[in-house]
Amino acid sequence: MRLIVALLLLAMSTACAAAANEEKQVPLRDSRANASQALLEAKDYKVNSYEGVAHSYTLTKEKLTELPYMMYWGLQSVDPLNYVGKEIIIDKFVVEDHPLAKGKVEVYVYSSEGQPFGGTSVPYRRRDDGGYWSMDGKTLEEIQPKSFQEWQKAWMARYTP
Protein backbone atom coordinates (compact mmCIF):
# COMPACT_ATOMS: atom_id res chain seq x y z
CA MET A 1 0.00 0.00 0.00
CA ARG A 2 2.83 2.44 0.86
CA LEU A 3 4.42 1.70 -2.50
CA ILE A 4 1.20 2.60 -4.32
CA VAL A 5 0.84 5.86 -2.36
CA ALA A 6 4.50 6.74 -3.03
CA LEU A 7 4.12 6.04 -6.75
CA LEU A 8 0.91 8.05 -6.88
CA LEU A 9 2.59 11.03 -5.14
CA LEU A 10 5.57 10.78 -7.49
CA ALA A 11 3.29 10.75 -10.54
CA MET A 12 1.32 13.75 -9.26
CA SER A 13 4.42 15.80 -8.49
CA THR A 14 5.91 14.99 -11.90
CA ALA A 15 2.69 16.08 -13.62
CA CYS A 16 2.57 19.32 -11.60
CA ALA A 17 6.21 20.08 -12.39
CA ALA A 18 5.61 19.47 -16.10
CA ALA A 19 2.56 21.77 -16.05
CA ALA A 20 4.55 24.48 -14.28
CA ASN A 21 7.32 24.22 -16.88
CA GLU A 22 4.79 24.57 -19.71
CA GLU A 23 3.41 27.78 -18.18
CA LYS A 24 6.89 29.33 -17.93
CA GLN A 25 7.89 28.82 -21.54
CA VAL A 26 9.62 31.84 -23.00
CA PRO A 27 7.98 33.15 -26.19
CA LEU A 28 9.96 32.57 -29.35
CA ARG A 29 11.81 35.65 -30.52
CA ASP A 30 12.57 36.74 -34.04
CA SER A 31 14.52 39.58 -35.62
CA ARG A 32 11.55 41.96 -35.19
CA ALA A 33 11.40 41.29 -31.44
CA ASN A 34 15.17 41.66 -31.19
CA ALA A 35 14.98 45.01 -33.03
CA SER A 36 12.19 46.09 -30.67
CA GLN A 37 14.26 45.19 -27.64
CA ALA A 38 17.25 47.08 -29.08
CA LEU A 39 15.01 50.15 -29.45
CA LEU A 40 14.01 49.92 -25.78
CA GLU A 41 17.60 49.43 -24.66
CA ALA A 42 18.68 52.45 -26.75
CA LYS A 43 16.24 54.46 -24.60
CA ASP A 44 18.05 53.10 -21.50
CA TYR A 45 15.09 50.99 -20.38
CA LYS A 46 16.10 47.80 -18.58
CA VAL A 47 14.24 44.96 -20.32
CA ASN A 48 13.10 42.41 -17.74
CA SER A 49 11.21 40.14 -20.10
CA TYR A 50 9.78 39.67 -23.55
CA GLU A 51 6.15 38.56 -23.27
CA GLY A 52 5.53 37.77 -26.93
CA VAL A 53 3.18 39.20 -29.54
CA ALA A 54 0.35 40.98 -27.75
CA HIS A 55 -1.70 41.78 -30.86
CA SER A 56 -1.49 42.09 -34.62
CA TYR A 57 -3.82 43.64 -37.17
CA THR A 58 -3.94 45.35 -40.53
CA LEU A 59 -4.28 49.10 -40.08
CA THR A 60 -7.22 50.72 -41.85
CA LYS A 61 -8.54 54.28 -41.89
CA GLU A 62 -11.62 52.92 -40.11
CA LYS A 63 -9.47 51.68 -37.21
CA LEU A 64 -7.88 55.11 -36.93
CA THR A 65 -11.29 56.57 -36.05
CA GLU A 66 -12.17 53.89 -33.47
CA LEU A 67 -11.15 53.59 -29.84
CA PRO A 68 -8.66 52.49 -28.65
CA TYR A 69 -6.75 52.64 -31.97
CA MET A 70 -7.34 56.37 -32.37
CA MET A 71 -5.68 57.01 -29.00
CA TYR A 72 -2.83 54.55 -29.59
CA TRP A 73 -1.99 56.08 -32.96
CA GLY A 74 -2.35 59.63 -31.66
CA LEU A 75 0.54 58.86 -29.30
CA GLN A 76 2.91 57.95 -32.14
CA SER A 77 5.44 60.27 -33.75
CA VAL A 78 4.86 58.75 -37.20
CA ASP A 79 2.16 59.51 -39.78
CA PRO A 80 -0.42 56.71 -39.52
CA LEU A 81 -1.25 57.04 -43.23
CA ASN A 82 2.17 55.53 -43.98
CA TYR A 83 0.96 52.32 -42.29
CA VAL A 84 -2.59 52.03 -43.65
CA GLY A 85 -2.97 48.65 -45.35
CA LYS A 86 0.05 47.23 -43.54
CA GLU A 87 0.22 44.60 -40.84
CA ILE A 88 1.03 46.02 -37.42
CA ILE A 89 2.61 43.65 -34.91
CA ILE A 90 2.73 44.64 -31.26
CA ASP A 91 5.34 43.00 -29.03
CA LYS A 92 4.98 43.22 -25.26
CA PHE A 93 7.96 43.80 -22.97
CA VAL A 94 8.24 44.38 -19.24
CA VAL A 95 10.85 47.04 -18.45
CA GLU A 96 12.26 49.10 -15.59
CA ASP A 97 13.99 52.49 -15.49
CA HIS A 98 11.05 53.97 -17.42
CA PRO A 99 9.76 57.54 -16.90
CA LEU A 100 6.15 56.39 -16.46
CA ALA A 101 6.63 54.59 -13.14
CA LYS A 102 9.32 53.78 -10.59
CA GLY A 103 8.74 50.04 -10.82
CA LYS A 104 7.92 47.82 -13.75
CA VAL A 105 6.22 49.14 -16.88
CA GLU A 106 4.61 47.22 -19.73
CA VAL A 107 5.79 48.55 -23.08
CA TYR A 108 4.04 47.58 -26.30
CA VAL A 109 6.36 48.09 -29.27
CA TYR A 110 4.68 48.62 -32.66
CA SER A 111 6.38 47.20 -35.76
CA SER A 112 5.60 46.99 -39.45
CA GLU A 113 7.56 45.05 -42.04
CA GLY A 114 9.94 43.95 -39.29
CA GLN A 115 10.85 47.48 -38.19
CA PRO A 116 9.79 48.97 -34.83
CA PHE A 117 8.48 52.54 -35.09
CA GLY A 118 6.73 53.39 -31.83
CA GLY A 119 4.56 52.03 -29.11
CA THR A 120 2.63 52.58 -25.93
CA SER A 121 3.28 51.99 -22.26
CA VAL A 122 1.28 51.38 -19.11
CA PRO A 123 2.24 50.81 -15.46
CA TYR A 124 2.80 47.09 -14.84
CA ARG A 125 -0.48 45.16 -14.54
CA ARG A 126 -2.53 48.39 -14.54
CA ARG A 127 -4.03 48.32 -18.07
CA ASP A 128 -7.54 48.65 -16.68
CA ASP A 129 -6.83 52.07 -15.13
CA GLY A 130 -7.89 53.77 -18.36
CA GLY A 131 -4.82 55.79 -19.28
CA TYR A 132 -2.97 56.01 -22.56
CA TRP A 133 0.75 56.76 -22.68
CA SER A 134 3.33 56.86 -25.45
CA MET A 135 6.27 54.47 -25.46
CA ASP A 136 8.13 57.12 -23.44
CA GLY A 137 5.34 57.61 -20.91
CA LYS A 138 3.83 60.82 -22.30
CA THR A 139 0.11 61.54 -22.52
CA LEU A 140 -1.66 62.73 -25.64
CA GLU A 141 -1.88 66.22 -24.14
CA GLU A 142 1.91 66.28 -23.71
CA ILE A 143 2.52 65.18 -27.31
CA GLN A 144 -0.14 67.12 -29.24
CA PRO A 145 -0.07 70.94 -29.27
CA LYS A 146 -3.88 71.20 -29.03
CA SER A 147 -6.59 70.51 -26.48
CA PHE A 148 -8.05 67.01 -26.67
CA GLN A 149 -11.26 68.29 -28.28
CA GLU A 150 -9.38 70.22 -30.97
CA TRP A 151 -7.07 67.28 -31.59
CA GLN A 152 -9.96 64.81 -31.87
CA LYS A 153 -11.87 67.04 -34.30
CA ALA A 154 -8.80 67.42 -36.55
CA TRP A 155 -8.01 63.71 -36.26
CA MET A 156 -11.51 62.64 -37.28
CA ALA A 157 -11.53 65.10 -40.20
CA ARG A 158 -8.24 63.69 -41.48
CA TYR A 159 -8.86 59.96 -41.02
CA THR A 160 -12.61 59.41 -41.43
CA PRO A 161 -12.99 57.31 -44.60
3-state DSSP call for residue 118?
strand
Furthest C-alpha separation in the chain: 77
Q: Is there a domain that residue 140 lies in?
A: yes
* pLDDT exceeds cutoff 80 at 21: no
> What are the backbone dihedrals phi and psi of residue 111, each rounded to the nearest 5 degrees, phi first?
-135, 150
Counting the structural domains of the chain, the total is: 1
Boundaries of domain holding 52:
29-159
Give the predicted TM-score (pTM) of the model: 0.80
Rounded CA separation 124/138 (Å): 16
Q: Is there a domain that residue 56 lies in?
A: yes
Q: Is there a domain that residue 116 lies in?
A: yes
Q: Is there a domain that residue 70 lies in?
A: yes
Rounded CA separation 70/86 (Å): 16
What pairing do the DSSP bridges indicate for beta strands 46-58 and 87-96? antiparallel
Q: pLDDT tens for residues 121-161?
A: 999 876 656 678 999 999 999 998 889 999 999 999 999 98
Which residue type occupies 67?
L
Q: Is there a domain that residue 57 lies in?
A: yes
